[in-house]
Chains A and B, each alone.
Chain A
Amino acid sequence: QKEVEQDPGPLSVPEGAIVSLNCTYSNSAFQYFMWYRQYSRKGPELLMYTYSSGNKEDGRFTAQVDKSSKYISLFIRDSQPSDSATYLCAMRGVTGANNLFFGTGTRLTVIP
């Protein structure tokens, strides 16, 4: 079983839709949770960073962490064509920033 599971998609939605992206994980030691956005042929860009359980909102983006279910989500409201990218979840424990565990990434296309 992989440490982090993420549906690879692809996911296609119309412009303006609400998008839900999810990851599940098996290691209860994970405390820090990140979402990276990666445009085609570019490096990952940090989008959201959450510690432990709870919600975090930044503009059209909301990150949720449910540690009891080992489940994290990223919601995108009013999706735009410019949101078309691959979204990678990543997580780690309390020590060792180098020990990041990535999901496989979900490829999202927002259709105008």
Chain B
Amino acid sequence: DTEVTQTPKHLVMGMTNKKSLKCEQHMGHRAMYWYKQKAKKPPELMFVYSYEKLSINESVPSRFSPECPNSSLLNLHLHALQPEDSALYLCASSQDGSGRGRETQYFGPGTRLLVL
């Protein structure tokens, strides 16, 4: 089973709202990722968690706040977003983030976010 699930599939929010995106995997992976993808562009890495600890923050604005409650779950808390934050938000997971062997990332279906 190489499934990563994400909820919700679609989200519309105003600039003053607070919302959360959720991601779950049951592959026993210890590294989880958040990406942002704009139309016709490749995914851009936002955050990496390894063993439930934040290991990479790619200079993401503080209005995006990640959380990793346990090894299977990853959340992205959203607050005071801007219209330019509208995008497809992808979650991914991999074995442990070390890159040893043939470790690779498996992506979820994404949450399509629209900020009005």
Residues of A within 8 A of B (CB): 8, 32, 34, 36, 41-46, 49, 51, 88, 92-100, 102-105, 107
Contact = CB atoms under 8 A, between A and B. Distances in A.
A108 to B, nearest CB: 13
Interface residues of B, number: 33
Interface of B: 2, 4, 6, 31, 33, 40-43, 45, 48, 50, 55-56, 88, 90, 94-100, 102-110, 112
Tell me the interface secondary structure of chain B in the complex. Answer: loop
Given A49-B104, A98-B45, 14 more contacts: A34-B104, A41-B88, A42-B110, A43-B6, A43-B110, A44-B90, A92-B99, A95-B99, A95-B100, A96-B98, A98-B31, A98-B50, A100-B105, A102-B43
A32 B108 CA distance: 21
Nearest to A103: B42
A72 to B, nearest CB: 15
Q: Report which residue of B40, B99, B107, B108 has the largest number of chain A beta carbons within 10 angstroms of its beta carbon.
A: B99
A99 B42 contact: no
Nearest to B32: A98
A105 B31 contact: no
Tell me the interface secondary structure of chain A in the complex. Answer: loop
A86 to B, nearest CB: 8
In the complex, the 7 A-B pairs of residues with the closest C-beta atoms, listed nearest first: A102-B42, A43-B107, A97-B99, A97-B103, A95-B99, A43-B109, A98-B48
